[in-house]
Amino acid sequence: MLRTQRVSRSGVSVLVLLAWWLIGPSVSMSKADGIDEDLAAVARTGPGGRGSVAAATATRRLSRNGLELLPRLLQAMDTDNIVAANWYRTVFETITRRELSRDPAPEFPVSLLKSYVTNPKRQGRVRRLVLDLVERLEPGATAALIPGMLDDPEFRDDAVSAALARGDRAKQAGQTGAAIAEFRKAFQSARSPGQVGTAADRLKGVGQKVSVVAHMGFVTHWYLLGPFDAPGMSGFELVLPPEKQVASGVDLAATYAGKGGGKIKWVRHHSSDRLGQSNLIRAIAPVKEAVGYAYTEVLSPRSQTVQIRCGADDNLTIWLNGKQVLKRLQWLNGTRLDRFRTTVSLERGRNKMLVKVCQGPQHKNPAVPNNWSMQLRICDAQGGGVGVTNGLPAAAEKNAANSRGLNR
Q: Which of 229, 289, 281 is nearest to 259 (CA)?
A: 229
Residue segments in the chain with a per-residue pLDDT below the cut of 70? 1-33, 331-332, 334, 362, 364, 394-408
Q: Would you list the domain boundaries of the chain?
A: 5-139, 160-210, 216-399
Name the strand (E) or helix (H) holding 133.
Answer: helix 124-137
Q: Among residues 219, 198, 222, 223, which one has the least CA distance to residue 210?
A: 198
**How would you class 321 by CB atoms within 10 Å of its CB: exposed for 0-12, middle for 13-18, buried for 19 or more?**
middle
How many CA atoms lie less than 13 Å away from 277 in the CB half-sphere?
18
Taking domain 216-399, whether its CATH number is 2.60.120.380 is answered by yes
Kindly report the pTM of this predicted structure: 0.83
Q: Is the dihedral of CA 214, 218, 219, 224 positive or negative?
A: negative
Confidence (pLDDT) at 314: 79
Tell me which H or E stretch contains 290: strand 290-300
Whole-angstrom Cα distance, residue 238 to residue 215?
35
Sign (positive/negative) of CA torsion 30, 33, 35, 40?
Answer: positive
Could you give the dihedral angle defined by the CA atoms of residues 219, 181, 186 and 211, in that order, rounded to the nearest 10 degrees? -10
pLDDT value of position 206: 98
